[in-house]
Amino acid sequence: MAYMHSRKLYHGRLKSSNCCIDDRWTIKITDFGVPILRKVDTKMKNIEINEYEYSDSRKRYERVYLPPELLHYDKLPPPEPTTDIYSYAIILIEIATRQDPTAEDASQDDGTWRPPLPELDVGNGESFCPNPAKYLELIKYCWDEDMLSRPTFEIIKKILVEVNPSKMSPVDAMMSMMEKYSKDLELLVAERTQELELEKQKTDRLLYSMLPKPVADKLRQGKGVDAQGYESCTIFFSDIVGFTSIASRSTPIQVVTLLNKLYTTFDDILDRHDVYKVETIGDAYMVVSGLPQLNSRHACEIANMALDLVAVCDEFVVPHMPQWKFCIRAGTHSGSVVAGVVGLKMPRYCLFGDTVNTASRMESTGEALKIQISGTTREILDSFGCYIMESRGQINVKGKGLMETWWLKGKKTTGNTTNRNSICKSISNVQSSSTDDEKLISRTTPPTPVSQSRVYVHDTKVKPDSFANLIDIDN
């Protein structure tokens, strides 16, 4: 515009729609000098053209760029340099606000309305405008109502140097802005990636606590998990002796607190052994070794774990009943099983087979703070030669008849033995007013095999009236 004005060529129709940007981000001014050509053309064709025969919105758009001194003319006079300066002020407002300068409800016929000044944050160093205060002063300078007070484009060029002292070109400004955005985006992506990784780790921990890792990984990959048979594994069952009496003397929240404390303690011990916790149902605790990862020492792993669990019970204190002598009974059996994922909603990794039933019977026919093992488990442990086992003799096992079982007493050590049975001596002074479940602590004869109020989902022979209890326990 300074070049055009230096050549006495005034635009008269300057507006943002006449400013084009080329591939090098350079402004190109268009639509100047055209009225002269159109005037000659219309005279040759005897056509009368009204410059403002446009729609209302187009009229508003055209008139907003006109200075106040021209709004009352029926026919526009030849363009003046001050007209272009006023139009330039409107374009500066468009650049700052990124909006159309017209207003639908503004009255522009009286010559007093003009677009509002942009609200630039003068104190913001991150603003796209290097000097917002100087930029606003330039707008006011260019749209002064006194046409003679408006600057020339040569003066405007000097003011623009103050607005942009670094003389940064549009391309450089754009690249600087993109570089800043890129750095901010990289930091944001890194932060979100870290948050995503933390959430993924939480999800993995939750998933691996519900399903074995190899099985969970297959399910996450969308692969099917077929039931698989295992020739040899060892299963462990345990439950709390006198749990019915404890529950009857406790509130529901106290029972939950007790079980949570107990199972948290048990879970910490499980982490030290090559075993997998299958599930807990009420006070029942089920663990297996030898699957899904094959393990030739599965009987030893279960035996070591069982000894640790029984030992920790000697120091375990019921939070709301510290005077209560806490005991569990445990049983193990080794054999073949079939394992697989059951269900789609809340899928469960379940074990099936007679080995599960027999292991459950070893626990239910056991005694407090003792570990009863089957003959199969005894043979495997005997081959390692490092465990102390004592024959219990033959007992009547439901669904099996007479079976000879053994007590796992401890593990041999150099020059000494650890007798786990000694911890039962403190249980002999049970009060005579104890309930049936409490008396079970001091019994030397086998208790009733299985209470009908407890069932295992792995037992293929579940009594019909036990399902309600199972549902209550799960809930």
> What mean pLDDT do residues 441-466 have?
34
Q: Confidence class of residue 202 from pLDDT cuts 50, 70 and 90?
A: confident
* Bridge pairing between strands 328-342 and 348-352: antiparallel
Q: Confidence class of residue 388 from pLDDT cuts 50, 70 and 90?
A: very high
Q: Confidence class of residue 171 from pLDDT cuts 50, 70 and 90?
A: confident
Full-prediction pTM beyond 0.95?
no
* pLDDT attached to residue 337: 92
Residue that has been written with the tokens 């099983």 in this structure: 337
Cα dist from 420 to 113, 156, 316, 360, 369, whole Å: 98, 97, 16, 21, 8
CA 193 to CA 93: how far, in whole Å? 40
228-474: CATH number: 3.30.70.1230
Residue that has been written with the tokens 């407890």 in this structure: 454
CA 441 to CA 349: how far, in whole Å? 33
Q: b/e for 318-342, b at 16 or more Cβ within 10 A?
A: beeeeeebbbbbbbbbbbebebbbe
Residue 262 has pLDDT above 70, yes or no: yes
Residue 472 has pLDDT above 50, yes or no: no
Which residue type sits at 424?
C
pLDDT tens by residue, 282-325: 888 999 999 888 888 999 999 999 999 999 988 888 888 888 88
Q: CATH topology for 2-167? A: Transferase(Phosphotransferase); domain 1 (1.10.510)
* pLDDT attached to residue 34: 66
- CA triple 210-214-216, angle to 5 deg: 40
pLDDT tens by residue, 325-372: 888 999 999 999 998 888 777 778 889 999 999 999 999 999 988 999
Residue that has been written with the tokens 């509002």 in this structure: 116
What are the residue boundaries of the structural domains of the chain, listed by start? 2-167, 228-474
CA 15 to CA 66: how far, in whole Å? 10
The string of DSSP codes covering 281-312 is ETTEEEEEESSSS--TTHHHHHHHHHHHHHHH
Residue 72 has pLDDT above 60, yes or no: yes
